[in-house]
Amino acid sequence: MDKIISWTAVILWMAVIFYFSHQPAAVSNELSTRVTETIAEKVEKIAPNMEFNAGSLNHTVRKNAHFFNFFVLGMLVMFALRRCGKFQGYRRIGIVLTICILYAVFDEVHQLFIPGRSAEIKDVLIDGAGASVGVIVYLVIRWIFRKRRTGYGVSG
């Protein structure tokens, strides 16, 4: 049952990524602009004298969305493959990154067919970086929990 739930989470997250990629450029830009405006409002309250370029911030928000989406995907695929128990160590990591990067390529090709969107190799690289960091964070969290469970390194 854990395998089904973990792979369902992977597929659902891929569907979320597909949903956002399927939005025409105008809709996608409107969403990222709203996020950028919200960030700008919060920054204005915290640091009223700080100056920044809203256009540059919007670009950063859009690229961070790529990174975050594939960060989560990397963690989910890592968890799902671990639940299957078939692959270990570097092989599992390689398979996770292959799945995530292939999906990033698919995602970019898919955007070629969406009005106003394009495929960017840079976005695939950002997606791959997000997936890689997701795998690393997953491994660190797993290592911490394993150490706590065995009582290693816990004083008291």
- What is d(CA 79, CA 96) in angstroms, rounded to the nearest whole number? 10
Q: What is the pLDDT of residue 61?
A: 87
**Best CA proximity match to 32, nearest among 63, 73, 72, 75:** 63
Alpha carbon separation from 150 to 16, 21, 144, 155 (Å, rounded) = 37, 43, 10, 12
- Mean local confidence (pLDDT), 114-129: 95
Concatenate the DSSP letters of all residues of 27-68 into one string: HHHHHHHHHHHHHHHHHHHH-TT----HHHHHHHHHHHHHHH
- Mean local confidence (pLDDT), 141-148: 90
- Mean local confidence (pLDDT), 26-52: 83
Per-residue confidence band for 39, with pLDDT thresholds at 50, 70 and 90: confident
- What is d(CA 66, CA 124) in angstroms, rounded to the nearest whole number? 9
pLDDT of 147 above 90: no
The token pair at 100 is 């995530």
pTM over 0.75, yes/no: yes
Mean predicted lDDT score pLDDT of the chain: 90
Per-residue confidence band for 156, with pLDDT thresholds at 50, 70 and 90: very low
- What is d(CA 61, CA 29) in angstroms, rounded to the nearest whole number? 10
Sign of the C-alpha dihedral computed for residues 3, 100, 107 and 62 taken in this order: positive
Q: What is the pLDDT of residue 152?
A: 61
- Mean local confidence (pLDDT), 131-136: 98
